[in-house]
Structure 1
Amino acid sequence: MSVIAHRSVSLQAALVEMGARVLLKPLITAYPVQSWSFAPLLLAERIAAAIPWAPAGVEVSRETIAGVDVERLTPTGEALRDDTALIYYHGGAFLAGGPATHRRLASVLARALGVVVLNVDYRQLPEVGLGSSVEDAYRVYRAVSDSRRYRNVVVGGDSAGGYLSVKVIELAYLDAVRAPTAFFGYSPLLTPTVTADDPRAEINDAYLTIGKLRSLRTWFDLGPGTRGADDVVVVPEEAFPPGVLVAASGEMLRIDSERLHERLDAAGNECDLHLFDGGVHAFPVLTGLTPESTEAVRLTVAFLDSVLAARQARQAA
């Protein structure tokens, strides 16, 4: 239930932030939010998916779960937790990215925890709205959870994927089905709605802008999904399992993590919040490229390890 500040800034992280401010932010600011402008944003995932590479120490395969495409990453080491699965939801503002762009991070989590990671290829803009993304995310979770193949199911993601993780927690609670064992969020986008007095507008983010989020908000409400694009402030605290949140102290969506942590902390829920100076939005995705990214993932693994160990001890008692 603590907030941990990480003050040191590595050269690598400083260079990434500088590059984001100089190159990425002007591009994002100028990029139009129109139906024709979404297609180029899919190029990164298509290029990454076209490269036939598999991270060391994991087997990569494709399958369909409850009608949703999923990339399965299975550690090849001997210390496999065969009773646990981790469902990962990638970020990308619900319009970019996919399993291939996030395969490096997913593979690190799979190896470090010794668990199967299901990297979900949910539907995105402009073909569908955010509600359909939520439905895909939840369908995968329900299928995995209801199968009872895994005693523990962890959910997590970065940015938009962090939102999906929390909505899965909410829907599982509302449907009175088995809750996830734990959750984690890397710079999760938890409040799609931009208000007139939104405090996030005051933050000079390295590359995100409140104006772009405001422009995307109307697109989030596209059908055909019925789950909507509600803010996670509607999710009751008692729905949440133990969780860990990570954000950059200078990013716009730090506010989203702080709001959720404050609510869970006040309710007595187990939730750690790590704030890193000098990072950029969703920086853990860069694991292995900056010390801060690697440390954020290590802290996530340590937290999840402790939750899984405690659960195993209770079950054995």
Structure 2
Amino acid sequence: MTAHRGVSAQSALAIAGAKLLLRPLIALYPVRSWTFGPMALGEGLANLIGWMPDDVEVDRMELAGVQVERLVPTTGDLRTDVAICYYHGGAFLAGGPATHRRVAAALARSLGVTVFNVDYRQLPDVGIGTSVEDGYRVYRAVVDSGRYRQVAVGGDSAGGYISAKVLELAYLDAAQAPAAYFGFSPLLTPTVEDGDPRYDIDDAYLTAGKLRGLREFFDRGPVDPRGHDDATEISPAAFPPALVIACTDEMLRVDAERLHARLDGAGRLCDLHLYEGGVHAFPVLAGATPESEQAVQITALFLEAAFDARLQHRAA
């Protein structure tokens, strides 16, 4: 485990803004089906603004019936046989490829690889079993295309859960295993019980109580969940080299530490980076703070090492 000390001015500003604006709003926002619609407005606004990277080509396409954005760097060397499936966060009900295009583009640019930014279905239309199935179908389509010898999976928050479940389903189906896993503040334990330690953390804007309220919507179907509800209980044998990044003062630090302890105890490689202070899923800010820029660099180096190690293993 690596501890990162110190809080930059940019990060301190993000923390203050989250506590002043987001936390009161989320605390007052009712968890009801009819309130989920406005949560999806962020993706529409991001599409309206239409930010596009200058050095990464972005194409909208469909894979296995699921909408994705494919991001391919247009400068530098491209590793044509390597890809990443990225799953955005948003509590299974908000966000999308447009809101997470910056981090997807940063990974594509840093590694010189193709990134598939997955637009999986969300609440309230479907439950998380369907969200996971969409993510898994995209992964299998990328792997089965024969174009990519190595495919890593990862995401932030709810996307960290989906990518972990993709690992599990590939393991259960004896399919090709991902080359690596990475999670930015991954939401790995979706069920909140009485006495959950996440209640005791003074998060900048997330609350365990709201997550507990969402739980009743997670089993909506139409695809029934497979495997473990708690992704920290997935067999360690399903995990390739794993990287988890979180903040010390966020409630999902507990999820990150649980996964690290389980994998480390089983002798599986899992690098955990904890940043002092910070806001949930801060790497998604992709360069807006020194911490987010460093986190993306750490992720790129980790994935590059995982890809190269796998190539060496195959060649041996």
* Pairwise TM-score range, normalised by the shorter structure: over 0.9
CA distance in 1, matches of 2:18, 2:176: 40
Alignment match, 1:297: 296
CA distance in 2, matches of 1:50, 1:129: 27
What TM-score do the two structures reach when normalised by structure 1? 0.97
* Amino acid corresponding to residue 298 of structure 2 in structure 1: L
* Equivalence map 1:60-99=2 (5 Å): 60-99=58-97
Deviation at 1:195, TM superposition (A): 1.1
Alignment match, 1:284: 283
Deviation at 1:284, TM superposition (A): 0.5
Deviation at 1:223, TM superposition (A): 1.3
- The 3-state SS of whatever aligns with 1:38 is helix
CA distance in 2, matches of 1:91, 1:54: 19
Of 174, 177, 185, which aligns to 2:172?
Answer: 174
Alignment match, 2:26: 28
Q: Mean Cα displacement is larger for which, 52-61 or 223-232?
A: 223-232
Deviation at 1:51, TM superposition (A): 3.2
Aligned: 1:53 with 2:56: no
Alignment match, 1:273: 272
* Equivalence map 1:1-317=2 (5 Å): 3-227=1-225, 230-317=229-316
Deviation at 1:314, TM superposition (A): 2.4
Check whether the contact 2:8–2:290 (CA below 8 A) recurs between aligned residues. yes
CA distance in 2, matches of 1:35, 1:259: 31
Deviation at 1:281, TM superposition (A): 0.5
Deviation at 1:78, TM superposition (A): 3.4
* Amino acid corresponding to residue 168 of structure 1 in structure 2: V
Check whether the contact 2:232–2:255 (CA below 8 A) recurs between aligned residues. no
* Amino acid corresponding to residue 267 of structure 1 in structure 2: A
Q: Which aligned segments of 4 or more residues in structure 1 are displaced greater than 3 angstroms?
A: none
- The 3-state SS of whatever aligns with 1:281 is coil
Deviation at 1:50, TM superposition (A): 2.5
Deviations, residues 134-172 of structure 1 (Å, cap 9, x unaligned): 110011111111222100000000000000000000000
- The 3-state SS of whatever aligns with 1:59 is strand
What TM-score do the two structures reach when normalised by structure 2? 0.98
CA distance in 1, matches of 2:84, 2:243: 14
Deviation at 1:272, TM superposition (A): 0.2
Deviation at 1:233, TM superposition (A): 3.3
Deviation at 1:301, TM superposition (A): 0.6
* Amino acid corresponding to residue 12 of structure 1 in structure 2: Q
CA distance in 2, matches of 1:19, 1:46: 22
Check whether the contact 2:150–2:179 (CA below 8 A) recurs between aligned residues. yes
RMSD over aligned Cα, in angstroms?
1.0
- The 3-state SS of whatever aligns with 1:88 is strand
Deviations, residues 293-313 of structure 1 (Å, cap 9, x unaligned): 111111011111111111222
Q: Which runs of 5+ in 1 are unaligned?
A: none
